[in-house]
Structure 1
Amino acid sequence: MIHDLGLTRRRGTTLLVPILSVLSVAFLVGCSSESDDREKPPRDPKPSASPSATSDQAKALEKQAQEALGIGEADDPGDLFVESGLERASDGIHTNSGLSSGRSYTLSVVCSGEGAGEGEEEVRLTVTAKRPTRQTVTCDSVPVRQRITDAPAQIRIDVDGLAGSSGTVGWRIDELAK
């Protein structure tokens, strides 16, 4: 006798084999049958972007920012290109830019993207030349321009994404012709 399973031996065989066969069939039938939960859609379906769709969207936002700033296009004949760049809004911009002291410049900043919040998504721009100036930039692919007159030798540019903002932030500095 096998006491711990409650089974008895008959002529060298165990009743375990037929019981396991019955349990296996019951398990397979139970796993393959349709349940009511499977027929109902999830309560809050959340669409998820595929990696290629996310990559395509990021590239499109980068292109919008570049076009808005004129990066890659012929410069105005009177202005001298100094530098430009693109970053993800979530990473922000944190750069020091060397300038020619006493000259005048135009700083252009654009945010192309969207966020999770209601209304317009935004980033906060802080430019520190002689003193810090702060401005909010909407992520609508429209550049914001600041004129920097009598520039110091270096300025600090910081752009931080506000809660839920995503997309691409770009900047461009041009020296104004004398």
Structure 2
Amino acid sequence: MIYGKWFTRRGATLLVPILSAAFLVGCSGEPEDNGGPSKNPKPSASPSATSDQRKILEKRAEEALGVVEIDELGDLFVQSGFERVSDGIHHRPVLSSGKSYALAVVCSGVGEVRLTVTMKRPERQTVACDSVPVRQRIMDVTAQIEIDVDGLAGSSGIVGWRIDELAK
């Protein structure tokens, strides 16, 4: 019986400091999520990379629509614009009644967008984001025209439009 009490006290005396040290080391370590890189990092674009990408896509769209050459066209150019695919285009241009126009829409990026042109009734068309413009004539404008472009699922990039008056 003396041996059992001695071993229990001696074991406890050795065991308490060992467990205490292990507990302190375990609790003093930094947590796994310390703001540093995670075990499975997900790639993300930096703001400057996103801005650079946007500029490149916008330049492609400008070149495809010929916006760079506007000065050479004189009075035929009416208006143009660019937006992110995620924002879409929802434009209501004021055009002269009785005249005819050419609308060009281009998407630079990934995926497809849905183009809807409404005068009397909506006309829908799917446009690929391949930097190739789609052209549509708008003949004998009589009322307000609506141009809407919305990105389809998984699409991203820049969408641009341009309206020119057709010479008679």
Question: Which bracket does the TM-score occupy, shorter chain normalised?
Answer: 0.7 to 0.9
CA distance in 2, matches of 1:98, 1:169: 20
1:158 has 2:154 as partner: no
Q: What residue ranges of structure 1 are gaps of 5+ in the alignment? A: 1-17, 33-40, 115-120
Which residue number corresponds to residue 115 of structure 2? 125
Give the AA of the match of 2:120. K
Q: Is the 8 A contact 2:70 2:77 kept in 1?
A: no
Q: Is the 8 A contact 1:105 1:176 kept in 2?
A: yes
CA RMSD of aligned residues (A): 2.5
Taking only the aligned residue pairs, the percentage that are identical comes to 71
List, as ranges, runs of 4+ consecutive aligned residues in structure 1 with deviation greater than 6 Å.
none
1:68 aligned to 51, 64, 70, which one?
64
- Residues 105 and 75 of structure 1, relative CA distance in 2, 3 Å threshold: farther
Q: CA deviation at 1:50?
A: 1.5
Which residue number corresponds to residue 56 of structure 1? 52
Which residue number corresponds to residue 8 of structure 1? none
1:168 has 2:125 as partner: no
Q: Is the 8 A contact 2:94 2:144 kept in 1?
A: yes
CA distance in 2, matches of 1:130, 1:148: 11
What TM-score comes out, normalization by structure 1 length? 0.71
CA distance in 2, matches of 1:27, 1:157: 63
CA distance in 1, matches of 2:91, 2:69: 23
Q: Is the 8 A contact 2:95 2:141 kept in 1?
A: yes
- Residues 79 and 141 of structure 1, relative CA distance in 2, 3 Å threshold: farther
1:106 has 2:105 as partner: no
Give the AA of the match of 2:115. L
Q: Is the 8 A contact 1:79 1:176 kept in 2?
A: no
Give the AA of the match of 1:154. Q
What TM-score comes out, normalization by structure 2 length? 0.75
CA distance in 2, matches of 1:177, 1:154: 20
